[in-house]
């Protein structure tokens, strides 16, 4: 299925040399191409995803590549309209040398039922308020040994005792002392 993103650009097409993984078909996403044409920014979920009558869709795997191009970023406010749908999000491990490297401002803002987010080690930047108003968020797993740069108020208006931020064992102190991350030092534990 070819969808149309909110900006009117084509949101996807079939590509015969890629396998669609069960759980997150490529056609579930809307996206924009980077200006150089080498990468993509995920801008949201397609109408096909919204029409799917399967609760398993709420455990979303965001791929590191779509149609032979790397997914470079989860765009600003990409999932802001998924208030009562997403339960867990796994940002897929990179297939290419460079995978998803940025989660933009407000990417998951208002995903009220989001409980778990797993972020691969390729992510080096997380924008402002990425999990703003994600009231159910219990666990954030960050696989990077170095704390990604993070914007202001990443977990604004969330219950602090409820959430745990998991980071690699050898990196706990680096996260606890890094700018912004240090505000959440009591919630950071090693895995």
Q: pTM for this one?
A: 0.75
Shortest CA distance to 56 belongs to which of 82, 92, 87? 87
Q: Is residue 2 part of a domain?
A: no
What per-residue confidence (pLDDT) applies to 16? 24
Range of the domain at 174: 26-190
Q: Is residue 47 part of a domain?
A: yes
Q: pLDDT tens digits, residue range 75-122?
A: 999 988 776 678 888 777 654 444 678 999 999 998 888 889 999 888
| % of residues, the chain, pLDDT over 90 | 36
Q: Is 26 helix (H, G, I), strand (E, B) or coil?
A: helix
Q: What is the mean pLDDT of residues 151-156?
A: 86
By DSSP bridging, strand 69-74 and strand 65-66 are: antiparallel
What per-residue confidence (pLDDT) applies to 65? 82
Residues whose CB falls within 8 Å of the CB of residue 29, separated by 6 or more in sequence, listed in order:
11, 12, 42, 43, 44, 45, 46, 49, 62, 63, 66
Q: Is residue 63 part of a domain?
A: yes
CATH number of domain containing 178: 3.80.10.10
Residues whose CB falls within 8 Å of the CB of residue 182, separated by 6 or more in sequence, listed in order:
176
What per-residue confidence (pLDDT) applies to 161? 60
User: 25 pLDDT exceeds 70?
Assistant: no
In angstroms, the CA 107 to CA 100 distance is 13
Q: Is residue 73 part of a domain?
A: yes
Q: Is residue 18 part of a domain?
A: no
Domain count, the chain: 1
Task: Identify which has the larger pLDDT, 11 or 131.
Answer: 131
Q: Is residue 20 part of a domain?
A: no
């Amino acid at each position: 299925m070819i969808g149309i993103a909110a900006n009117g650009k084509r949101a996807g097409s079939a590509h015969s040399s890629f396998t669609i993984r069960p759980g997150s078909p490529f056609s579930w996403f809307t996206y924009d191409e980077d200006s150089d044409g080498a990468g993509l920014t995920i801008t949201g979920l397609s109408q096909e995803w919204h029409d799917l009558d399967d609760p398993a869709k709420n455990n979303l795997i965001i791929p590191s590549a779509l149609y032979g191009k790397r997914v470079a970023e989860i765009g600003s406010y990409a999932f802001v309209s998924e208030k009562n749908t997403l339960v867990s999000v796994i940002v897929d491990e990179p297939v290419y040398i460079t995978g998803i490297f940025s989660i933009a401002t407000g990417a998951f803002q208002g995903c009220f039922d989001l409980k778990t987010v797993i972020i691969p080690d390729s992510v080096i930047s997380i924008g402002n308020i990425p999990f703003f108003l994600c009231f159910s968020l219990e666990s954030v797993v960050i696989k990077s040994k170095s704390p990604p740069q993070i914007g202001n108020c990443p977990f604004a208006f969330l219950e602090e005792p409820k959430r745990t931020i998991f980071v690699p064992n050898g990196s706990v102190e680096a996260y606890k002392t890094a700018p912004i991350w240090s505000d959440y030092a009591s919630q950071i534990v090693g895995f």
